[in-house]
Structure 1
Amino acid sequence: MTMPAPPGDQNPVDREPAAREAWGRQPPGPTASPWPVYPMPMPTPQPRNGMGVTALVLGIVGAVLGLFVVLFWMSWVPALLAVVFGCIGLSHARRGLATNRTMALVGVILGGAGLLISAACGLFAVVVVKEAADDVRAKADRVKASAAAEEEKKKAQEKARHLSFGQSYTFENGLKVTVAKPQPFTPDDFVLGHAKGNKAVEVTVTVVNTGTERLSVETGLPNVNDAKGASAELVIDGSGRQKVITGYVLPGKETVGKYAFSLPPDAADKVEVEFSPDAKRWPDAYWSGPN
């Protein structure tokens, strides 16, 4: 059985390649997406403001600490760090990495001010300490000089109180005392304080009142030491030649005391006499020399 030919004497088999060609052709270029394409947003970098904030905080701390004189030695550390961090913050701001340029700049300024304050306070402290040390040293030198002068004065006074027989010494109350060279003394038969074989001497003490008021002699007895430094014994006899100074001495007047002492023969070549008109107030003066 023969199939009838399609109209127009066209062969469907012959049209298939043409149809495929018509439907299969595509324009050059990227393949169209069935979904709409939107541009992807780029992430915005976060500003690096930490250095500026740190510089500001440290600058405030350094400046405040520098205002306290006792804390100036602590202020230079935060102040220096404020300058360093502030400079880094300014560098970030210039490169667009930070947005707090003003804060970093203020931190640098405060840090610099803190350094200046710290340096000024340090200089002030050095000056104050130096002046205090100089003052202490000057006071110590004055005290030392005063002590040395006092010691020299005591030595001079001590030297002035050591005299030879016949010289005079004036005590601070105005009594001038003179001790004459001891003279031989012969006790009578009724004698106390004189051993047989000893040498008896008589000591004469003259006291003159050089002041304007009457003055008392509280201790009228001298002390006599022999050549060996031993105290000689006071001689008392019945001759009545000894006289003890007692009572008051009127202005411009004098009183004379006479005392006898017994010296051992081996220590009688030199005598020292100690005397003070008031032993509680004035130290003794000393008269010495060969007997």
Structure 2
Amino acid sequence: MTIPAPPGDQNPVGQGSAAQDPWSPRPSEPAAPHWPSYPMPAPQPRNGMGITALVLGIVGVALGLVIILFWMSWLPALLAVVFGCVGLSHARKGLATNRAMALTGVILGVVGLLFAVGGGVFTVIAVKEATEHARAEADKAEASAAAEKKRKKAEEKARHLSFGAAYTFGNGLKVTVAKPRPFIPDDFVLGHAKGNKAVEVTVTVVNTGTERLSVETGLPNVNDANGASTELVIDGSGRQKVITGYVLPGKKAVGKYAFSLPPDAADKVEVEFSPDAKRWADAYWSGPN
């Protein structure tokens, strides 16, 4: 007896078994398409730091060369050193190609800093020396003013004398004023009121130089101790003599003058005299009359 085949199993023996066998090898898959390879572009070098360092270094050095601009040079010089060091770091890592430029920027930055420090030191020294010089000049001027004041004070003191003392003026005329003596005017008199007290003043001028010298102002001025002025007395006695004209070398001229003092005049009188009031300050003789 023949056993019929199960339905649906129509494939002949040996066909389709491989597809149905899970242990059979699978057919190979189609290969992926192959694309041609292209070279990747190289990264751009990061040269900005080196360029910046170089520019800032040049600016720092240029400013440092001008002494008065030293205070402006330190900042670009310092930035040049910083940026230059960053540029050198990039160059070591292969990120930059301008190592020489970055190194130059660092060097210029250091030079600029040295210029800034040197300019600062120079300025401090110059200011200190200028201040000391100004102080010395001020002290010198003050000392000179004090010496001049002292000299004038000494001259002023030297021009105040007692009756009978001599004073030599700058032109070489030595003047002596004698102590005033009582003077009695004659009946014909001008400048003397009744009740006043008249005195005679004698002025002697000696030429101590080698050339003749003129006496431009031969009249003395007489005041009492209270500052009251007196009147010049003129009478017909001929006893008054005014010094005028020239005094020859080694010679002397004597002038005699009479003055009228008010009744309440102080006992002490002062006589002022100068041979040339435009050139020489008056000398003063004082004492009791």
Distance in 2 (alpha carbons) for counterparts of 1:28 and 1:44: 44
- In the other structure, the counterpart of 2:139 is 141
User: Which residue identity is paired with 2:207?
Assistant: N
- In the other structure, the counterpart of 2:46 is 48
- In the other structure, the counterpart of 2:223 is 225
User: Which residue identity is paired with 1:132?
Assistant: A
The correspondence for 2:164, drawn from 142, 166, 169, is 166
Partner of 1:259, secondary structure, is strand
User: Which residue identity is paired with 1:12?
Assistant: N
Alignment gaps of 5+ in structure 2: 1-9
Query: Do structure 1's residue 103 and structure 2's residue 121 form an aligned pair?
Result: no
Distance in 1 (alpha carbons) for counterparts of 2:132 and 2:87: 47
Query: Do structure 1's residue 269 and structure 2's residue 278 form an aligned pair?
Result: no
1:131-210 alignment to 2 at 5 Å?
Answer: 131-210=129-208
- In the other structure, the counterpart of 2:210 is 212
User: Which residue identity is paired with 2:57?
Assistant: G
CA deviations 1:103-161 (Å, max 9, x no partner) are 22111111111111221222222223333333333223222222222221111111111
- In the other structure, the counterpart of 1:76 is 74
Distance in 1 (alpha carbons) for counterparts of 2:92 and 2:32: 46
User: Which residue identity is paired with 1:223?
Assistant: N
Partner of 1:241, secondary structure, is coil
Displacement of 1:28: 9.0
Give the number of aligned pairs.
Answer: 281
Distance in 2 (alpha carbons) for counterparts of 1:220 and 1:25: 161
User: Which residue identity is paired with 1:221?
Assistant: L
Change (3 A) 1:269 1:35: same
Contact 1:199 1:268 in 2 (8 A): no
Of Structure 1 and Structure 2, the greater helix share is in: 1
Q: CA RMSD in A?
A: 2.5
Partner of 2:16, secondary structure, is helix
Contact 2:64 2:115 in 1 (8 A): yes
Instruction: Please report the TM-score for the alignment, with normalisation by the length of structure 1.
Output: 0.88
Distance in 2 (alpha carbons) for counterparts of 1:50 and 1:286: 90
Partner of 1:12, secondary structure, is coil
CA deviations 1:8-29 (Å, max 9, x no partner) are xxx634444236359x965599
Contact 1:219 1:277 in 2 (8 A): yes
Distance in 1 (alpha carbons) for counterparts of 2:67 and 2:45: 38
User: Which residue identity is paired with 1:160?
Assistant: A
Contact 2:184 2:198 in 1 (8 A): yes
Distance in 1 (alpha carbons) for counterparts of 2:260 and 2:147: 41
Displacement of 1:201: 0.6
Displacement of 1:43: 6.2
Change (3 A) 1:139 1:228: same
Contact 2:18 2:24 in 1 (8 A): no
Displacement of 1:76: 1.0
Alignment gaps of 5+ in structure 1: 1-10
The correspondence for 1:244, drawn from 229, 242, 259, is 242
- In the other structure, the counterpart of 1:281 is 279
User: Which residue identity is paired with 1:275?
Assistant: F
- In the other structure, the counterpart of 1:3 is none
Distance in 2 (alpha carbons) for counterparts of 1:93 and 1:27: 56
Change (3 A) 1:18 1:142: same
Displacement of 1:38: 5.0
Partner of 1:266, secondary structure, is coil
Instruction: Please report the TM-score for the alignment, with normalisation by the length of structure 2.
Output: 0.88
Distance in 2 (alpha carbons) for counterparts of 1:34 and 1:125: 80
- In the other structure, the counterpart of 1:18 is 17
Contact 2:211 2:249 in 1 (8 A): yes
Higher mean displacement: 124-133 or 216-225? 124-133
User: Which residue identity is paired with 1:279?
Assistant: A
- In the other structure, the counterpart of 1:130 is 128
